[in-house]
C-alpha cells in the first residue's frame, strides 16, 4: 500500500469514527422520531381521539400552504441595465427550474417533518443529463433538483457545536443497489460489495460535505479500504453546504439536535389517552339493566324493541302490583353519568392545555363564542398569529436560503447558451448586452441581487382586498395633492416618490407596480428638468409664414396711411376753398 493510499485509508477511518460518534448522539432523536410518527398515524390505538394529529393538521397551512413565486430585486435601483437584464434571466431560470418537478410537495415534506420531528431538511442537487457523440460527452439538459432528506437519514457535526454556524460538516445517508453503485463509483468497488452482499443487497452510502477541506466524501461502512469517491467542491456556494440551515423547533443554543413539540405535550397526550379510554369503558358499562317479577315471563324482552305492546295473561295482577313500576326495578346509573361528566370536563381542560402549549388558539381552529365581540375575536386571532409568527418567519427564511442556493448553482453550472434562452427575442436583439448579463451572472452570481418571495395565498381574502383598496385610494389622493406642488417646486419630486413607494410597498403584490412607478417618475423628472426650447429661427416654414404675415401687415399699414393722406389733402383743399370764398365776399 502506497503512502497516499495509507493516508486515504487513515482519513477514511477518521471519518468512520466521526460518523459513528454523531450517530450515537442522534440515536435517541431517531427513536423519538419513529415514536412520534407512529403516534401521529394512530398506529397504537386506532380508536383514540388523536388531538396531536388535529394540532399538526391545523398548523400545517399556517406555516406553509401554497408555493411562493421567487423574484429577484436589485439592492441598488440605480445600477445599469446589464444587471437588470441579469436579474431577469436568473428570475426566469428559477421559475423554470421549480416547474421541472413538484417543488410544492417537496417543501411540504420538510414542513411536515418540522411539525412532527422538529426538523425539516431539503437538499439542492445539480442534475445534468449527458449523451455521447463519438468520444465526446455533451450535455443534453440540466436542472437543479430540490431533494427531500429524511431527518433520520441526516447527520450534522456534533463536536463542540452549539449553533448552526459552528457546524463544519453535514452528511446524508442513502441506500444504493449494486447496480447504482456500478453507475456511480469505481466498478471494482461495486464488484467487491456484490461479492460480499450479493446483487440484491442495498449498501449504505454517506455523502459528506466537509467545509474545512472544501471536499465531498462518499463513504460506506461496508467498504473498509477507502472512500467510495472524493470530490473537490464544484458548486462554490457561499455557505459551502448544498442545503440551507434546517428549519428546527426547540433549541437551547447548546446543541444542534432539536427537541420536537411532541416532547413538550407528551404528558398531556398520555393523560388525554387515559381519560378517553376511561370514558370508553364507562360508556360500555353505562347500560340499562335490572330485574323483574318472574311471574310475568312475558316482560323478559320488553327492552328489546323501541316501541312494543306485550300481551299479559293476568293483567289484573299487574295492576294490583302497581303497574310495571311495581314489578320491574333498574340498576342505578347515576354514578356512571357523574363519572362521564367529570371525565368530559377533564378532557376539555387537557385539550385546551395542549392547544395553549402548541399555540393553536380556538379562532385559528375556526371556532369562537357566539357572544364574543368582533374586537375580542380579532385580539384572539392576533394572539394566535403572534405566537407562531416566529416559526412562520423561519419558514420564509428557510425557503429564501433554499432558493438562494438553487440560484447560485444555476449561475455556476448552467451553460451560457442555456441562460440566454431565458430571454425573449427582443431582449436578445442586443447580444452584447445579453452576453454581458450572462457574464455578470457567471462571475458575480448574486452580488447586488436579493431573492424574495411573493405568494398569491392569504388567509383573509376580504381583509387583503380591503387593504389594497385603501392603499390605492391613499395613493390617488397623494398623487392629486402632489401634482400641483411638484409643478411649482420640482425639488419635492424625490420626497413624493419615496412617500408613494412606501405606500405601495404595504400592498399585496406591490412588485407589479415597480416598473410603472419608475417609468412615471423618470418621465416626470425629465419633463421638469427639460430646458425651455427657443423658437427655431432656421425653420423655413415658420419664416415663410412670418414673412407673409409681415407683408400683410405692411400692406394694411400702407393702405391706412394712403387713406389718412387723402383725408388730409381733402381737408387742406376744403380749408383753402373756404378761405377763397371768404375773400370774395
Mind listing the pLDDT tens digit for each residue in 338-368? Answer: 888 998 999 889 988 888 888 776 445 444 4
Going 480 to 486 to 489 to 495, the CA torsion angle's sign is positive
Q: Report d(CA 133, CA 232) in Å as an integer.
A: 27
pLDDT bucket at 331, cuts 50 / 70 / 90? confident
3-state secondary structure of 207: strand
Lowest-confidence pick of 334-338, 424-428, 506-510: 506-510
- Does pLDDT of 35 surpass 90? yes
- Does pLDDT of 21 surpass 90? yes
Q: Is the model more confident about 211 or about 567?
A: 211
- Does pLDDT of 114 surpass 90? yes
User: Mean of the pLDDT values across residues 517-532?
Assistant: 73
Rg of the chain in Å (alpha carbons): 43
Report whether 30 contacts 152 (CB < 8 A): yes
Contacts 24+ apart (CB under 8 A), 27-35: 29/151, 29/257, 29/258, 30/152, 32/117, 32/260, 32/262, 32/263, 33/116, 33/117, 33/151, 33/152, 33/260, 34/152
Q: Residue 102: what pLDDT? A: 92
What cell does 182 get?
456500478
Q: What angle do CA 448, 454, 457 make, to 5 degrees?
A: 170
- Does pLDDT of 167 surpass 70? yes
Report whether 355 contacts 362 (CB < 8 A): yes
Report whether 330 contacts 288 (CB < 8 A): yes
Q: Residue 358: what pLDDT? A: 81
Residue 394 — left, alpha, or beta (φ > 0 → left; ψ -120 to 50 → alpha)?
A: alpha
User: Mean of the pLDDT values across residues 66-74?
Assistant: 81
- Does pLDDT of 94 surpass 70? yes
357-396 CB burial, b ≥16 within 10 A, e <16: ebbbbbbbeeeeeeeeeeeeeeebbeebbeebeebeebbb
- Does pLDDT of 418 surpass 70? yes
Mean pLDDT of the chain: 81
**List of residues 6+ apart from 131 with CB closer than 8 A:** 137, 138, 140
Query: For 455-554, where are the E strands, in sequence order?
Result: none
407-440 CB burial, b ≥16 within 10 A, e <16: bbbbbebbeeebbbebbeeeeeeeeebbebbbeb
Q: Is the model more confident about 450 or about 266?
A: 266
pLDDT bucket at 4, cuts 50 / 70 / 90? low
Q: Residue 459: what pLDDT? A: 46
Bridge partners of 155, per DSSP, are 171
User: Mean of the pLDDT values across residues 491-516?
Assistant: 73
Identify the residue whose cell numbers are 369503558. Answer: 281
Q: Report d(CA 202, CA 218) in Å as an integer.
A: 15
Q: Is the model more confident about 238 or about 304?
A: 238
User: Mean of the pLDDT values across residues 253-269?
Assistant: 91
What cell does 332 get?
342505578
CA dihedral 564, 565, 571, 575 (to 10 degrees): 150
- Does pLDDT of 458 surpass 50? no
Contacts 24+ apart (CB under 8 A), 92-98: 92/422, 93/407, 93/410, 93/414, 93/419, 93/422, 94/70, 94/403, 94/406, 94/407, 94/410, 94/451, 95/69, 95/70, 96/422, 97/143, 97/144, 97/406, 97/410, 98/67, 98/70, 98/146
Q: Residue 70: what pLDDT? A: 85
Pick from 463, 480, 475, 465: nearest CA to 500: 475
Contacts 24+ apart (CB under 8 A), 517-525: 518/77, 521/493, 521/497, 524/486, 524/493, 525/493
Q: Residue 457: what pLDDT? A: 45
What cell does 47 get?
380508536
**Residue 329: CA count within 13 A, CB half-sphere:** 7
Counting residues of the chain whose pLDDT is more than 90, the rounded percentage is 34
User: Mean of the pLDDT values across residues 300-327?
Assistant: 70
Report whether 455 contacts 69 (CB < 8 A): yes
Q: Residue 375: what pLDDT? A: 52
Pick from 104, 77, 22, 89: nearest CA to 402: 104
Identify the residue whose cell numbers are 376511561. Answer: 278
Lowest-confidence pick of 30-39, 182-191, 313-322: 313-322
pLDDT bucket at 317, cuts 50 / 70 / 90? confident
What cell does 298 get?
312475558
Amino acid at each position: 500500500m502506497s503512502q497516499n493510499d495509507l493516508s486515504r485509508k487513515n482519513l477514511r477511518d477518521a471519518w468512520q469514527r466521526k460518523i459513528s460518534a454523531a450517530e450515537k448522539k442522534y440515536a435517541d432523536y431517531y427513536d423519538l422520531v419513529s415514536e412520534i410518527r407512529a403516534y401521529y398515524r394512530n398506529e397504537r390505538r386506532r380508536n383514540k381521539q388523536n388531538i396531536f394529529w388535529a394540532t399538526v393538521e391545523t398548523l400545517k397551512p399556517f406555516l406553509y400552504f401554497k408555493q411562493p413565486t421567487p423574484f429577484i430585486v436589485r439592492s441598488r435601483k440605480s445600477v445599469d441595465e446589464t444587471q437588470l437584464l441579469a436579474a431577469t434571466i436568473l428570475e426566469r431560470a428559477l421559475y423554470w427550474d421549480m416547474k421541472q418537478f413538484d417543488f410544492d410537495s417537496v417543501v411540504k415534506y420538510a414542513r411536515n417533518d418540522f411539525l412532527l420531528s422538529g426538523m425539516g431538511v431539503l437538499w439542492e442537487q445539480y442534475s445534468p443529463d449527458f449523451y455521447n457523440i463519438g468520444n465526446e460527452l455533451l450535455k443534453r439538459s440540466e436542472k437543479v433538483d430540490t431533494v427531500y432528506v429524511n431527518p433520520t437519514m441526516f447527520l450534522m457535526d456534533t463536536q463542540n457545536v452549539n449553533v448552526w454556524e459552528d457546524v463544519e460538516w453535514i452528511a446524508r445517508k442513502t441506500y444504493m443497489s449494486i447496480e447504482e453503485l456500478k453507475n456511480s463509483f469505481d466498478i471494482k468497488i461495486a464488484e467487491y460489495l456484490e461479492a460480499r452482499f450479493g446483487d440484491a443487497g442495498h449498501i449504505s452510502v454517506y455523502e459528506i460535505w466537509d467545509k474545512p477541506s472544501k471536499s465531498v466524501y462518499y463513504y460506506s461502512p461496508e467498504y473498509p479500504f477507502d472512500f467510495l469517491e472524493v470530490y473537490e467542491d464544484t458548486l462554490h456556494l457561499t455557505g459551502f453546504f448544498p442545503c440551507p440551515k434546517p428549519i428546527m423547533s426547540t433549541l437551547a443554543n447548546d446543541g444542534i439536535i432539536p427537541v420536537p413539540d411532541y416532547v413538550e405535550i407528551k404528558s398531556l397526550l398520555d393523560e388525554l389517552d387515559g381519560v378517553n379510554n376511561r370514558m370508553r369503558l364507562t360508556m360500555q358499562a353505562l347500560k340499562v339493566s335490572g330485574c323483574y317479577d318472574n311471574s310475568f315471563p312475558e316482560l323478559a324482552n320488553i327492552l328489546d324493541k323501541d316501541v312494543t305492546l306485550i300481551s299479559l295473561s293476568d293483567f289484573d295482577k299487574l295492576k294490583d302490583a302497581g303497574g310495571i313500576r311495581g314489578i320491574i326495578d333498574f340498576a342505578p346509573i347515576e354514578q356512571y353519568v357523574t363519572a362521564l361528566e367529570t371525565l368530559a370536563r377533564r378532557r376539555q381542560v387537557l385539550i385546551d392545555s395542549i392547544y395553549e402549549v402548541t399555540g393553536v388558539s380556538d379562532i385559528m381552529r375556526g371556532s369562537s363564542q357566539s357572544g364574543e365581540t368582533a374586537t375580542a375575536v380579532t385580539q384572539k386571532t392576533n394572539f394566535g398569529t403572534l405566537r407562531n409568527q416566529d416559526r412562520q418567519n423561519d419558514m420564509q427564511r428557510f425557503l429564501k436560503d433554499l432558493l438562494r442556493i438553487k440560484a447560485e448553482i444555476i449561475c455556476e453550472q448552467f451553460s451560457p447558451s442555456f441562460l440566454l434562452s431565458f430571454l425573449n427575442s427582443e431582449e436578445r436583439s442586443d447580444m452584447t448586452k445579453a452576453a454581458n448579463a450572462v457574464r455578470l451572472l457567471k462571475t458575480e452570481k448574486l452580488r447586488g441581487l436579493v431573492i424574495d418571495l411573493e405568494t398569491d395565498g392569504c388567509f383573509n381574502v376580504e381583509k387583503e382586498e380591503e387593504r389594497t383598496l385603501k392603499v390605492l385610494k391613499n395613493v390617488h389622493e397623494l398623487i392629486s395633492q402632489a401634482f400641483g406642488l411638484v409643478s411649482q417646486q420640482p425639488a419635492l419630486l424625490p420626497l413624493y416618490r419615496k412617500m408613494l413607494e412606501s405606500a405601495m410597498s404595504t400592498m399585496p403584490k406591490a412588485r407589479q407596480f415597480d416598473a410603472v412607478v419608475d417609468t412615471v417618475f423618470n418621465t416626470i423628472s425629465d419633463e421638469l428638468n427639460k430646458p425651455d426650447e427657443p423658437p427655431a429661427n432656421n425653420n423655413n416654414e415658420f419664416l415663410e409664414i412670418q414673412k407673409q404675415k409681415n407683408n400683410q401687415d405692411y400692406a394694411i399699414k400702407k393702405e391706412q396711411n394712403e387713406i389718412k393722406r387723402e383725408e388730409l389733402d381733402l381737408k387742406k383743399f376744403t380749408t383753402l376753398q373756404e378761405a377763397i370764398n371768404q375773400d370774395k365776399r
